[in-house]
Structures are given as structure tokens and as C-alpha cells.
Amino acid sequence: MKPAHSTSLIFGGARSGKSAFAEQLAIKLSDSKQQVLYLATASAGDTEMQERIAHHRARRPADWGTLEQSLELGATIMARSRADNILLVDCLTVWLSNLLFSGEVDFPEIGHITPPPQFAVQRQALLYALAQAPGKIILVSNEVGMGIVPMGAVSRWFVDEAGRLNQSVAAIADNVVWVAAGLPLYLKGQPW
């Protein structure tokens, strides 16, 4: 019997296959009674982002629900997670970027970065929801800290906060999977 509550973090680099792996996991974990709800954090901005979103949409099963949520992810998870569904969140680093730039502040190239006031509130709400929500939750995130340290202050802040967020989510998660070149490496939990 599959547990009613489980949280899985699927992370890796850009174009590593993490989203496709997470989608296949959602299919594998679902049964005829479980609806999959895809929580999309990206907003269609420029043409390139619209193409990325279209690519992701084309890959998903037609019977999955989709809900766009760019900022209040924790509240949405609490409201939508049930024992009889699966939430697939794609992706945490886009959500983190949304939070950082939600205050429409021009950040300095050098110096201290002060995130918008809602950053800490929304981050805490997400972590609370992941620990408390009753259903199966699959989260996709990017690993952005394996390259050189970025030059700009806001880029360094983002890399640091993405790493901290991934660590916090991994601590809560039942399963953590690193995906590279489309291949999963199970870091926490057991293969499904």
C-alpha cells in the first residue's frame, strides 16, 4: 500500500531530465482514483519562456489538472493537497526567482541584497505546507550551485538561497533524487 503522505524532491541541472523524471514518477505513483495536479510556477513572459512552457505542457497527460502559482506556493499546496491526489510542483527555483523579483526592486551589482518582505513569509509557508499537507507532493528544483561563483550580488544571493531552499526541502522530503543526463541517483528514500 502506498502512503497517503509523501514528499519527493527531484533536482538537477538545466535540461538534466528532472521534470520528465518527476512527471513519470507522478504517473507511476498515481492510480485510477488519484488526480495529478501540476502546479506551474513559471509565467509566460518572453518567447523563449513561452516555448519552454509549451514543451512541458505537450509532454504531460491530457487528464492532469494545471494550476499556475508564481508566489503563494505554500498556501496553494495546503489548499490543494489531499490524500487522494498528487501535486507536482515545477519548479522551486523559478518560484524563488519570482519571490526575489516580486518587489520590483533594482538590486545592486555589488553589496548586500535585501529580499522583499514576503520572501521569508512565503518560504516558511512552503516548508510548513510540505511538512503538513496530506497528499503526495513531487517537487522539481534546479541545482544552480555547481558552477563558478557568479559576479553579481543578486546572482550570488540567488545561488545561495536556491541551495538553502533545496537543503531545507530535502530535510523534509521522504525521497530525494538527483537527475543528471536523464539518469536518477537516489539520495534519500527508496526507488519506487
Would you please indicate which residues are annotated as catalytic (active-site) residues? 56
| 3-state secondary structure (DSSP) of residue 78 | helix
Nearest CA among 155, 157, 192, 187 for reference residue 173: 187
Residue 21, CA distances (Å) to 26, 106, 112 in order: 9, 36, 37
Listed in order, strand segments (DSSP E) in the chain are 6-12, 35-40, 65-68, 85-90, 136-142, 175-180, 183-188
Contact between 186 and 177 (Cβ < 8 Å): yes
Nearest CA among 23, 24, 29 for reference residue 3: 29
d(CA 78, CA 135): 10
Cis peptide before 91 (omega within 30 of 0): yes
